[in-house]
Structures are given as C-alpha cells and as structure tokens.
Amino acid sequence: MKIRKPDLFQIITYPAVIIVFAIFISMLITFLIKSLPAFDMYGFNLYAKNVWIAAENPDNEKYGILAAIWGSIYTSIIAVGVALPLSIGYSIFVVDYAPKKVKNVLIILSDVMAGLPTIIYGVWAVFFLVPALKDNIMTPLYDTFSFIPLFSEPSISGFSIMSAGILLSIMVAPFASAIIRESYQMIPFKYKEAAFSLGLTRYETTKLLFGYIKPAVYSGMILAFGRAIGETVAVSLVVGNAFNLTANMLAPGYTISSLIANQFGNAFIYGHMTSVLYASGLFLFVIGLGVNLLGIYKLRRWRKNVEI
C-alpha cells in the first residue's frame, strides 16, 4: 500500500465550504460590530421604544425601532394568516381533486409565483392592489367595524400594514403551498385507505389526514413567516413607511427591512443612524435565523418520522 496522498476531493471542496462558512460568520460579526455603537448609545431601548429623531447634532439623535419591529411582525402575521387557508386549500385541491393536467399547471403556476422577481409584485401592488384594497376592503371595513381597534382609523392612501400583509400573503403562499402539498402527498396511501374503509367522507378523511401532517403545516407557516419578515422592496413600497405603533391595520406602518431600505441611503449624514440600522439588521438577522432554524428543524424531524 502506498502512503495516502492528500485527497484531491478535499483539496477542491474544503476551501469552498470554508468560504461559505466564513461569509456567514463574517456577516454575523459585521452586524454585531456595526451595531455596538447603537447599543452603547441607546441600550435595550433601541428595540423597546418607538422614537426616530434624526438630528444634525448627534447628541440630539434618538432612535427606537419598536414600531418597525411591531410592523414586521404584524404584517408577517397577516401574511401567514391569509396565506395559510390559501395554501391548504390549494394543496388539497392539487393532491386530491385536480385532474393530472390541471394539477401540473397549478404546480407550475405556484412555482412561477414563488420565483417571480419581488419588484414585479411591488409595481403591481402600488398601482393596482393597494387602490383596490382601499376601495373594496379597507374603506368598507372602517365604515362597518371602526369600533374594533383593528380598523379604528380610516386609511387615507391605502398604503398600510394591511396592504403589506395582503401583498406578502400572495408572495409567501407559494412557499407554504409547496411545503404543505409535498407533505400531504407524502402521506402513505395505506392511511387514506384506512380512513375510507371506515366510511368517512372525503372531507372527513382530509381532516383526519391533516392531523397527521400538522407538524409540516406548522413548519410551512414558520418558514413562510421567515420569508415574509425578510421581504424588503415590495413591502417598503406599500407599507406606508410611518413609525406607527398601532393595532389599526389600516394605518401606515414600517417594517425593519423597509426601514433599512428607506433610511440607509441617507444614514451616513447622521452620527448614529448607520449603526442603528445595522442594529435593526441584526435583529432581523437573529429573528430570521431563529425562525428558519425552527422551521427547518421541525420539517426535517417530521420527514424523518413519516418514513417509518
């Protein structure tokens, strides 16, 4: 036997793997380091207060991004809430009812939606979706339900938390659909047979089998939430970009990513704003990491169990 030479395979692949890890870690470090001045200056209040005073004199600057955090979460919750029934209905229809050709078309359409450049959603939303929502949904909601805090103030422009939420729901539904559909399709046929053999109707069978893929539905929701909270340009075009800490979804709001998109270009003018925006990014970083890890982990665990 010859002495083992260094493996060419490792020589080729290891550096690439190291580069990818290095990119990720240096991203995290960059965000941490760039956030430090903001933490020094404002402490935890940066995430806990709603204030945005950009002043020429750095001593007068005051920042707290709570409204943006709130807006990110609020819009993403609306997005997932609306996308979930769409995705579940879509998955059931595609797997159980659609004839083969329709099925393929529906799957391709959904994939196209998932890949479509987000700026195209943005243009469409600014000029069509927002005005349409304002006239047909938001105004009637205010007229009828203004006693509910969710709809307590009328929307003036239509650019609002609700518009962002609905747009996001359209954008993330294909992701949730793909995960739910694949999981629903993975249910072994023997369980379907068992349900039918008990005299259950199709509705009852589907309901029963969805109990089985519940973990996958949850991970679909979580991953869709992760997508929604990170989405930037389309949201920044429709959310209204106002520091509102309100339950009223008809009011304009902010999200972390749209705050960065809007303010970062001019932030260098001010003393602390750049660091504040990196700290906002760090928050998004951590949320994104946590949410996605949770979703990926749940999905993986489910897929592992289902094969047994």
- Residues 217-236 interacting with other proteins (rule: CB under 8 A): 223, 226-227, 229-233
- Tally of CB atoms within 10 A around 303: 15
Tokens of 225: 């939430």
Whose Cβ is closer to other proteins: residue 2's or residue 147's? 2
Binding string, residues 4-33; x marks residues near other proteins by CB under 8 A = ---xxx-xxxxxxx-xxx-xx-xx--xx--
Whose Cβ is closer to other proteins: residue 41's or residue 92's? 92
Site stretch for other proteins (CB under 8 A), options 42-50, 51-59, 144-152, 174-182: 174-182
b/e map of 293-302 (b: 16 or more CB within 10 Å)? ebbeebbeeb
Is 89 an interacting residue with respect to other proteins (CB under 8 A)?
yes
CB of 229 to other proteins, least distance (A): 7
3-class secondary-structure state, position 99: coil
Site size with other proteins, rule: CB under 8 A: 107
Is 193 an interacting residue with respect to other proteins (CB under 8 A)?
yes
Whose Cβ is closer to other proteins: residue 38's or residue 248's? 38
Measured in residues, the chain has a length of: 308
| Main-chain phi, psi angles of 53, to 5 degrees | -115, 105
d(CA 269, CA 259): 16
Is 186 an interacting residue with respect to other proteins (CB under 8 A)?
no
Tokens of 250: 């008809």
- Indicate which single residue of 36, 48, 53, 109 sits in contact with other proteins (rule: CB under 8 A): 109
Residue 293, H or E segment: helix 273-306
Tokens of 276: 């504040």
Is 301 an interacting residue with respect to other proteins (CB under 8 A)?
no
Quick check: 231 and 168 in contact, CB under 8 A? yes
Whose Cβ is closer to other proteins: residue 46's or residue 195's? 195
Binding string, residues 264-283; x marks residues near other proteins by CB under 8 A = xx-----------xx--x--
d(CA 100, CA 102): 6
End-to-end CA distance of the chain: 42
Binding string, residues 43-82; x marks residues near other proteins by CB under 8 A = ----------------------------------------
CB of 275 to other proteins, least distance (A): 11
